[in-house]
Structure 1
């Protein structure tokens, strides 16, 4: 499947809106990255992309990346050290399970939306929005073919 077929344009716009909505309540930053396939473990690729996308540069170290390798049916979610220090131990695993449960049913968009909302709620709890906050990273879905 081509990366462009994983989500329709409408679904992509809905996900971007959910990211914006989540970020209105937090200083945290959320990104989604899609690519066709990978040649290593998804978590390792997600960590590499985290740096390539500049997500390690947020002021509070509170970026979260949702990574999907479309053809390989692989998914990973990672957070920067600021949020990693404060969330419960099973936090990332619980979001991953939530997203994958929807993916298995063929609900790509719903899986990402649920995961983003879950992450956004936790970011709001630990990194509430303040009026000095600005959007440090793009909300657009990044892609690599």
Structure 2
């Protein structure tokens, strides 16, 4: 059984593309069924390294991690964006996403998180004429 159907995947990838069209920042999404013995935050940090999220020019990558069957998730940003957003940004974004997740609507929750991250990235790292998409927009299934 797949985690998201094709239409759901396309909605999420489109949200990432739309968010990234306004910023030089990069947003990645990692989805897997189980945490495999780690905490969500630790798993997110591991994928952040594995996917080379810290290799963006302005250190402005954001990673959203979701373990569907374990009902755990995390959202983390690289040092460039983390130093600029309000202190409670990551937690308040998680709270907004959780409203959707609690009703079983993972797609809307992910889009909510992507939109909020995208707004912050656009504020602090607006898109420039010479911007290139440094990382893929597709969902990474762990």
Q: Give the distance between the partners of 1:63 and 1:103, measured in 2 at CA.
A: 23
Output one character per residue of 1:51-90: Cα deviation in whole Å (capped at 9) or x when no partner: 1011110000000001001110101000000000000000
Following superposition of structure 1 onto structure 2, how do residues 117-132 of structure 1 map, counting pairs within 5 Å?
A: 117-132=115-130
Distance in 1 (alpha carbons) for counterparts of 2:88 and 2:48: 21
Deviations 1:24-56 (A, max 9, x none): 000000011011211111101100100101111
- Structure 1 portions without partners, runs of 5+: none
1:9 and 1:77 mapped to 2: Cα distance? Answer: 23
- The SS at the match of 2:141 is strand
1:100: how far off? 1.2
Aligned partner of residue 138 in structure 1, secondary structure:
coil
What TM-score, normalized to structure 2?
0.97
Tell me if the contact between 1:75 and 1:100 (Cα under 8 Å) persists in the aligned partners.
Answer: no
Structure 2 Cα separation of the partners of residues 8 and 118 of structure 1: 24
Q: Which runs of 5+ in 2 are unaligned?
A: none
SS at match of 1:46: helix
Q: 1:25 aligns with which of 5, 22, 25?
A: 22
Query: Which of 97, 113, 126 is the matching residue for 2:95?
Result: 97
Task: Provide the alpha-carbon RMSD of the alignment.
Answer: 0.8
